[in-house]
Amino acid sequence: MKKAVSLFVSALLVCNAAFAQAPQKQEIAKEIDGYIQEVISTWKIPGMAAAFSLDNEPFFAKGYGVKEVRPADGIGFRGIHADNRNVASGGVPGVVNTPGEPIDVNTVFQIGSVSKSFTATIMGQLVDEGLVKWTDTVKNILPEFKYYDPYVTENMQVIDVMTHRTGIGGQVGTYFPNLGYDRDDCFKMLALIKPAYSFRGDYQYNNSTFLIAEKIIEKVTGKTWEQNLQERVFDKAGMKSSSANAEGYAASKNVATPHDYRYTTVELAKMQFPETADIPADAKGEIVTLPLYGDEQALYWLTGVGPAGSINSTVTDMLRYAQMHMNNGYIVDKVYARKDVGGEPSAIDTTFVMSEKAMRKLHQGVTITSQNDNRTTLYAQCWFVEQNNKYRLYFHTGTTWGMTAICFFVPEIKLSGVLLSNCEMGSNPRYAIMYKLIDLVMGLPTKDYNKEYFNSYITSNEKSWAKERAAEKPAKIAPAPDKTIIGEYAKDELFGDARISKGKDGLYMELGKMGYKNKLVHVNGNTWVFRSDGYAFPVEFSFDPQTQNATGFIVKFPNGEEESIGGWKRK
């Protein structure tokens, strides 16, 4: 909602600051524009959009590059062709753009984990309304809640969920949706995951635990997380181009295509199963950026991760959101000037989203995530809070399959901003632009973060590439005959059964609630691999020494989840 608030003194300060900064803003805009272009060129980024506000006045918004860089042969990452736009996961059509179509300030991107702060914003409003307390136990709100440790089940509080202090290891459970499991499934799977550290004893970043927050929001409001998101944040903040989940992303009229980004070779990046390739020791690596098409866009995962990372938005919308957090609950839309008092400001047109008290609680640091001689970074409720010897910075990054984001604000200099990109370029290019902008606004000695970060990236990847090429490769062990692993496999009601069958071009595995049927390819010995919703899952079979038939298998996850959930047994 909007109100015209008579704030002569505050408005005067805002207006005078804006007037005094006007020439400076033009210079800052010019310099940061050139720097962004330099970063994009250095890192080979296909596209990006940026928007910044100073003294509650947006002074920069621009799109760079293109929505999609398509190879001449039309083949994207992992060998998927651009024509396969309708084979994305979860029944949602994939996104394909006309090659060369430019990005603008209204282009929609996936913002990834910046979505967590939206969930925290909703939770903060509910606390403000007395519907929930930060110290409420999850079990008291959700009787069905169950964790691996009975003590944690009874004592986990809402604040623990929102600040990554639950005992679950970093990113554990993140890849369950890629196999076709939905949010309800993943919520139940939390009970199976063995803790990686003591409850409240550490900070370890996790997506799956935000499904607990979703359940709490839905229980106390009687509405879905998506409905709360729309009504409590998008509508209130005037974010007209923002949405949630795969459907919202695919339905956007002006949307970027996601791109994979890695240090490899073009040939390997286009190979569906590089795990099976014999790479020459003298192969040269480089930065390779390829569009993600079809199933590789991982759109089922996008919806499955929900309150932890499924929001889609533009820099125009996100700048309003960043400003709202910087101001602890409101957005300055316009400052009015009255002719009868010499043009001095008389009122401010303001959009209020939530109370200052509730917002300040969200920004209160809880757990130290890093620390050195001149910088301490804490994690608040879905914001990193960096306190250095010059300023206090609030920020959060986001990464999905093929897209990255950063949203930030520095209250003491009234600076807020957002960067959205359509590739998985890592954090450093985003940090380089953010820190450069802060230095420019504060008049600090300039530093070439871009050069420093890029040189570090290249050096590290060249060493890793050389080490991997030089490593002794294990002897190739032939696979067991197809007939020995074809058949039905059982697990439990939650994970469901699996089936391995023979197709025209090889073996296929069906697993998960969505019934995905993915090609199963031999890697070495008893190990096979399949790709599902944009990710490769190794499968290790066990065999009966007498019959030589497979007795079961385990699916390997990047964070060792198989140690907690076990495997499938042959029927």
- pLDDT band for 346, please (50, 70, 90 cuts): low
pLDDT computed for residue 349 by the predictor: 81
- The model's pLDDT over 278-304, given as tens digits with 9 standing for 90+, comes to 888 889 999 999 999 999 999 999 999
Whether 567 contacts 555, CB under 8 Å: yes
pLDDT at 18 over 70: no
Asked: is 23-114+243-302+311-332+365-461 a CATH 3.40.710 domain? The reply is yes
- The Cα–Cα gap between 74 and 90 comes to 23
- The Cα–Cα gap between 54 and 171 comes to 35
pLDDT at 149 over 70: yes
Instruction: Write out the two tokens for 105.
Output: 């300030």
- The Cα–Cα gap between 118 and 61 comes to 22
Count of other CB atoms within 10 angstroms of residue 9: 8
pLDDT computed for residue 19 by the predictor: 38
- The model's pLDDT over 301-317, given as tens digits with 9 standing for 90+, comes to 999 999 999 999 999 99
Query: Mean pLDDT in the chain?
Result: 93
pLDDT computed for residue 342 by the predictor: 55
Looking at residues 544-555, what average pLDDT do you find?
97
- pLDDT band for 347, please (50, 70, 90 cuts): low
- The Cα–Cα gap between 212 and 138 comes to 8
- The Cα–Cα gap between 335 and 366 comes to 36
pLDDT at 336 over 70: no
DSSP-assigned letter for residue 81 = B
- The model's pLDDT over 55-105, given as tens digits with 9 standing for 90+, comes to 999 999 999 999 999 999 999 999 999 998 767 777 888 999 999 999 999
Residue 430 CB contacts under 8 Å (≥ 6 apart), including other chains: 397, 404, 405, 406, 419, 421
Q: How far is CA 463 from CA 262, 264, 466, 476, 547, in A?
A: 14, 12, 5, 26, 45
Count of other CB atoms within 10 angstroms of residue 541: 23
Amino acid at 49: A
Of 2-16, 107-121, 515-529, 537-551, the range with the lowest mean pLDDT is 2-16
What is the distance of C-alpha 280 from the center of its chain? Answer: 34
- Domain spans of the chain, in order of start: 23-114+243-302+311-332+365-461, 482-570
Q: Between these two residues, 242 and 280, which has the higher pLDDT value? A: 242
pLDDT computed for residue 89 by the predictor: 78
Going by DSSP bridges, is the β-strand pair 375-379/367-372 parallel, antiparallel, or unpaired?
antiparallel
Whether 198 contacts 167, CB under 8 Å: yes
pLDDT computed for residue 344 by the predictor: 58
**In a 3-state reduction of DSSP, which class is residue 85?**
coil
Count of other CB atoms within 10 angstroms of residue 488: 13
Helix, strand and coil content of the chain, in percent to the nearest 5, comes to 35, 25, 35
SS3 labels along 325-338 = HHCCCEEEEEEEEC
Q: How far is CA 76 from CA 84, 195, 421, in A?
A: 10, 38, 18
pLDDT computed for residue 340 by the predictor: 55
pLDDT computed for residue 473 by the predictor: 86
Looking at residues 337-358, what average pLDDT do you find?
73
Instruction: Write out the two tokens for 462.
Output: 């060249």
- The Cα–Cα gap between 201 and 515 comes to 39
Whether 174 contacts 298, CB under 8 Å: no
Going by DSSP bridges, is the β-strand pair 403-410/392-400 parallel, antiparallel, or unpaired?
antiparallel
Query: Closest Cα to residue 161, out of 382, 385, 384, 398?
Result: 382
pLDDT computed for residue 179 by the predictor: 96
pLDDT computed for residue 2 by the predictor: 44
Tokens 């998960």 label which residue? 512
- The Cα–Cα gap between 532 and 253 comes to 27
Query: Closest Cα to residue 326, out of 417, 441, 236?
Result: 417
Q: Which CATH number applies to 482-570? A: 2.40.128.600
What is the distance of C-alpha 106 from the center of its chain? Answer: 20
Q: Which helix (H) or strand (E) holds 376?
A: strand 375-379
- pLDDT band for 337, please (50, 70, 90 cuts): low
